[in-house]
């Protein structure tokens, strides 16, 4: 367990937790060796025992280790201590771009361009090292207090080579490129697409593609066209709108091929917002040999260019499915309206060619009819006899195109996105206009296919509808512990539950989760109702005026407002027992329970009566001691004897 005050490697002292992601928690710490603050990312305990997760976690550090750039969060160290796996990174004080957009809404055009340029500069440095981020999104962009933009979290980055990388769809679905959503390759241009989505969100104040599930959003990334930003934010310049649209092209080859090109256009857009300098990918001209147009191809051209009339790829795709080609046409036009002129030009060229061919065919038919009418050569059989048109006319049926076949694969256990991509390759349609049914399954992971119709091995015609049923996993989950979190963050963790928020007064910061009902770690069914109690801040009351009231009335008045009080008695000119002063004064807004000081008069201070000082008594003179008087012998009385007897 990670606690404040603990040390890692006798070097890093944990200070406090500052963030949490899907697989890792982030703590602020102090490096005592270099005397600096750092951020330490810990792999969460539930993933620490998974060797694959640990390997990927370490790969993040390896991916970032060689990246040194002002717009990339630096990695300083990586380590393990017991079951703790951690990465030590640069500490960036600030907020995420996602939080900034939530607080500000649509960003100022120049501000958005400045942020985008810094993000692109960070990506350019990573791409120069052949590292693709693969998860560019506002949540992974940090705006420092100094105004520096930092790209963070290369958690799913991979070193690329010249070879195409085949891997599962990864990244955050709202910012995922179409090729990633299909589970196909991804390269530097995938980062450019995700940056395009991020720029769109900065300028529009909202995401271009949303849905009621990750699956529906991923499908929207593949199929849908974003609403033009200028219709949402009229302050956007034409140049920037073209830049964003080019970044968000469905096909990688239509995007910027390098981040440096994007940076150059972004800088140009600042000084030339109305300029037409954003280059679009020109239509490629095939150098393949001229081919004769077949009857089926000609028919398809007449029916509306079902075999890629607007296709800018090589023209030798004879087996391309008409329906897929039509979809490709629609996507291509939606992706880049600036290419419409190229397409129209090609259209007229091909229409001219077709018209010439049709004219030649028509002339040939007329010639044949004239010859036949004059000679009857085409009305004779092989014996030279005329054919009776009413009895012997036969017609050769027009060959119909044989529908292409497909065999239904086994999709059970595959992710929805992977299954969708496989069906697209086979030319099978998936019912995507409705949310697929979801059922609980102990064996099939969440968001994976648990049922399919038709079953594996069924023979299907291209274009057939396939219905898939998704698993919601075991169907149960534990209520996450969101106490103390900001409500925005708590909502993300509780997205699988039906959340009701209730405000409650508390000393906690406004918007902080106080508790939930059911409480954290309670096992509930997904989709169950949960009440989240959110702090509305401390309840405030206004201090009433009690000056002039008797003490009894003042106490009663203050208690009625749920305030506390202290009594201070002092002498004053006011009648005894009456309040003559209070602190704070009346009409002051304070928290409920605040202590008010009330000063109660003891009446006028009594005046002391004058006192007389007694005269000092005279000190008595000492009594003189009497001096004894000497006496003579006295003769005894008559009865005394005489001398001499």
Q: Write the burial class of residue 82 (CB in 10 Å: 0-12 exposed, 13-18 middle, 19+ buried).
A: exposed
Task: Tell me the C-alpha distance between 597 and 587, whole Å.
Answer: 14
Q: Where are the alpha helices (DSSP H) in 433-482?
A: none
Long-range contacts of 42-48 (CB under 8 A, 24+ apart): 42/2, 42/84, 42/85, 42/86, 43/84, 43/85, 43/86, 45/83, 47/23, 48/83, 48/84, 48/85
Angle subtended by helix axes 340-375 and 295-302, to nearest 10: 120
Question: From the centroid of its chain, how far is CA 36?
Answer: 30
CA dihedral 158, 163, 166, 170 (to 10 degrees): 30
Tell me the C-alpha distance between 460 and 423, whole Å. 12
Cβ atoms of 468 and 430 closer than 8 Å:
yes
Contact 138, 98 (CB under 8 A): yes
Is 42 in contact with 8 (CB distance < 8 Å)?
no
Residue 200's closest CA among 155, 247, 148, 238? 247
CB 213 within 8 A of CB 219: no
d(C-alpha 128, C-alpha 562), whole Å: 65
The SS3 assignment for 399 reads: coil
Candidate list 108, 135, 447, 586, residue with the active-site label: 135
- Our answer to whether residue 135 is catalytic in this structure is yes
Q: What is the dihedral of CA 361, 364, 369, 374, to 10 degrees?
A: 180
Instruction: Please name which of 571, 590, 594 lies closest in space to residue 581, comparing C-alpha atoms.
Output: 571
Give the C-alpha separation, 365 to 103, whole Å: 73
Upstream peptide bond of 63 is cis (omega within 30 degrees of 0): no
Among 120, 112, 217, residue whose Cα is nearest residue 175: 217
Distance between CA 499 and CA 579 in Å, rounded? 51
CA-based nearest residue to 79, from 125, 46, 38, 130: 38
Surface-to-core class of residue 348, CB atoms within 10 Å of its CB (0-12 exposed, 13-18 middle, 19+ buried): exposed
Active-site residues, by number, are: 135
């Amino acid at each position: 367990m990670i606690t404040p005050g603990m040390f890692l490697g006798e070097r890093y002292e944990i200070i406090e937790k500052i963030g949490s992601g899907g697989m890792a928690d982030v703590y602020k710490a102090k490096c005592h060796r270099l005397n600096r603050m750092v951020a330490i990312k810990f792999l969460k305990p539930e993933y620490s025992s998974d060797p694959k997760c640990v390997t990927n976690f370490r790969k993040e550090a390896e991916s970032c280790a060689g990246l040194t750039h002002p717009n990339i969060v630096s990695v300083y160290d990586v380590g393990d201590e017991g079951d703790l796996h951690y990465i030590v990174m640069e500490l960036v004080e600030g907020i995420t771009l996602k939080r900034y957009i939530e607080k500000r809404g649509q960003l100022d055009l120049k501000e958005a361009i400045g942020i985008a340029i810094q993000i692109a500069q960070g990506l350019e440095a990573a791409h120069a090292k052949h590292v693709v981020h693969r998860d560019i999104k506002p949540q992974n962009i940090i705006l420092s207090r100094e105004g520096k933009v930092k790209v963070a979290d290369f958690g799913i980055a991979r070193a690329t080579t010249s070879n195409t990388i085949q891997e599962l769809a990864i990244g955050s679905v709202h910012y995922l490129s179409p090729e990633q959503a299909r589970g196909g390759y991804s390269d530097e241009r995938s980062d450019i697409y995700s940056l395009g989505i991020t720029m769109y969100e900065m300028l529009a104040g909202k995401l271009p593609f949303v849905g009621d599930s990750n699956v529906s959003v991923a499908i929207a990334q593949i199929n849908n066209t974003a609403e033009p930003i200028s219709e949402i934010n009229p302050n956007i310049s034409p140049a920037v709108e073209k830049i964003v649209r080019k970044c968000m092209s469905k096909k990688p080859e239509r995007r910027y091929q390098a981040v440096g090109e994007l940076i150059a256009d972004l800088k140009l857009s600042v000084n030339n917002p109305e300029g037409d300098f954003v280059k679009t990918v020109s239509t490629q001209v095939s150098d393949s040999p001229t081919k004769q147009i077949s009857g089926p191809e000609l028919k398809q051209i007449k029916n509306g260019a079902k075999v890629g009339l607007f296709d800018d790829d090589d023209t030798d795709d004879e087996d391309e499915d008409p329906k897929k080609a039509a979809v490709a046409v629609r996507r291509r036009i939606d992706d880049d309206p600036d290419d419409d002129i190229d397409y129209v030009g090609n259209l007229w060229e091909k229409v001219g060619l077709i018209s010439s061919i049709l004219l030649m065919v028509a002339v040939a038919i007329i010639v044949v009819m004239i010859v036949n009418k004059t000679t009857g050569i085409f009305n004779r059989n092989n014996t030279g006899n005329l054919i009776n048109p009413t009895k012997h006319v036969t017609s050769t049926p027009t060959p119909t195109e044989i529908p292409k076949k497909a065999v239904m694969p086994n999709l059970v256990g595959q992710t929805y996105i992977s299954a969708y991509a496989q069906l697209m390759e086979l030319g099978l349609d998936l019912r995507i206009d409705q949310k697929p049914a979801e059922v609980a399954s102990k064996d099939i992971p969440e968001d994976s296919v648990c049922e399919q119709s038709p079953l594996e091995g069924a023979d299907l015609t291209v274009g057939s509808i396939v219905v898939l049923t998704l698993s919601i996993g075991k169907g149960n989950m534990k209520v996450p512990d969101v106490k103390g979190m900001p409500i925005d963050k708590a909502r993300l963790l509780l997205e699988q539950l039906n959340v009701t928020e209730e405000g409650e007064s508390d000393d906690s910061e406004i918007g902080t989760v106080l508790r939930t009902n059911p409480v954290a770690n309670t096992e509930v069914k997904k989709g169950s109702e949960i009440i989240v109690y959110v702090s509305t801040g401390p309840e405030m009351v206004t201090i009433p005026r009690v000056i002039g009231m008797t003490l009894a009335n003042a106490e009663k008045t203050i208690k009625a407002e749920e305030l506390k009080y202290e009594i201070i008695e002092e002498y004053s000119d006011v009648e005894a027992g009456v309040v003559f002063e209070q602190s704070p004064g009346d009409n002051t807004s304070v928290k409920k329970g605040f202590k008010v000081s009330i000063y109660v008069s003891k009446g006028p201070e009594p005046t002391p009566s004058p006192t007389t000082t007694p005269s000092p008594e005279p000190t008595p003179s000492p009594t003189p001691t009497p001096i004894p008087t000497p006496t003579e012998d006295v003769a005894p009385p008559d009865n005394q004897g005489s001398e001499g007897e």
